[in-house]
Structure 1
Amino acid sequence: MKVQIWSDVMCPFCYIGKRRFEQALQQLDSKADIEVEWKSFQLNPHLKTDPSLNVTQYLADIKGWTIDHARQMNHHVTEMAAEVGLTYDMDKAVVANSFDAHRFAHLAKQNGKGDEAEEALFNAYFTQGKNIADHDALAELGEAIGLDKTLVKQTLATDEYAADVNADVMQAQRYGISGVPFFVLDNKYGVSGAQAVPVFLQTLEKAHQEWALDNKPAKLDIIEGDSCGVDGDC
């Protein structure tokens, strides 16, 4: 059963949602049946990368908040992240356009490293303070998860996977997704936001039960005849 997850690297709730979903998935008896596919979403596609810009000031500017309120919000999400074992350092976060990071994620997905890429990108942005728009930084992340560093740099130097990112964004629009994280289970159930673990688990169980009924092996009407059995009797 496929679970599609739309997210953006710069979204603090997306990393928290990833952890809570993973915790729910670990409690699912049928977790081996679940295939997770990450999808691209850009909260601010027109954002210009500016490593010199303080992320607190950036939030205050785009949200119309005071600096103090922006700091309070960063502190709030940092505490939420800590509850699921994540360490956020918002003071180090680099304001960066995420489009090339999404292209990198698609390259990784093509090579069977989709989940590893998402984890690496979130960690790079929220914990390590790396510029996720920088091609050298992305190449290093790729090498760390088992991708060829040169391949990453060569790919990012072109427009490869740009169409894939845009296709994900368009699919999100068709679903009516206006915020992330957003989880689509078996193309039937949508879960918006970094929900509590029990919410994820309950929805996973419901979706899987229905999926299992729809995908159970066909029962054949058998016309018996002379044959040999697995025990050697003929």
Structure 2
Amino acid sequence: MHEFMYLVEGGERVALIDTGGGFGSLRQVVRSLTGKPLVVLLTHGHVDHAMGAGEFEDVWMDPRDIPVFCQHARQAFRIEALHGARPRLEQDPPMIPCADPRRFHPLRDGAGFDLGGVHLDVFECPGHTPGSMVVLLRELRTLAVGDACSSFTFLGGPESLSVAAYRENLLRLRSRLEGRFDTVLDAHGTGRLPADIIDEVIGVCDDVLAGRTDDVPCAFAGHKGVLAKARRPHSLLRQDGGCGNVFYCKNRIV
């Protein structure tokens, strides 16, 4: 389903950031790589990030995303998302049963996980969903952003925040992370984003609020809206050379 998951190994245990769509056994893949104790951190509750969590025991997610998780966990929703992500096969891959989110541990802003010489620090960034989180790999100076901030930051779902509210959360996140990372891991695309992606997306939000946008009509996952900045043909880059972008609905700017 075109998403990246990240396995981070410390001296004593490992952390899996996101669990994909839950088609085929992710646990089997992880256990082929390591036998260390495992903790799972979900950046948010969407169908392409959280549905493989049913194979794991020690799972953490922000409780604000439980409603969206439950909606996306419906079998029909998952199959529709799978078929929308890639060409239909003669037979769908095996679907992993969804986890009961009531057994998830609450992932809170400011949480930290010591893997043994490798520390993960968790920061909230509501916008894409109410409980969206980013994870700082402290010693590696690397930030895993999930879908919280990207070249296609999606604010078009009913659970998404307004552009103005999202911008305020980005400003706070930037101030808290300043000088702490050099590399950004994306959940989609090439898997990498420029180190100044937060600055870029804040700038796009500023332009939305000021009415300085291209507003290219766009549809994604059944939702209609506009892409704030026009892209180059067949590219994730904007026509002006930037990377950060926002999909939003004009009736949910403020």
Q: Which has the higher strand share?
A: 2
The two structures have a TM-score, normalised by structure 1, of 0.24
Q: Which has the higher helix share?
A: 1
Larger radius of gyration: 1
The two structures have a TM-score, normalised by structure 2, of 0.22
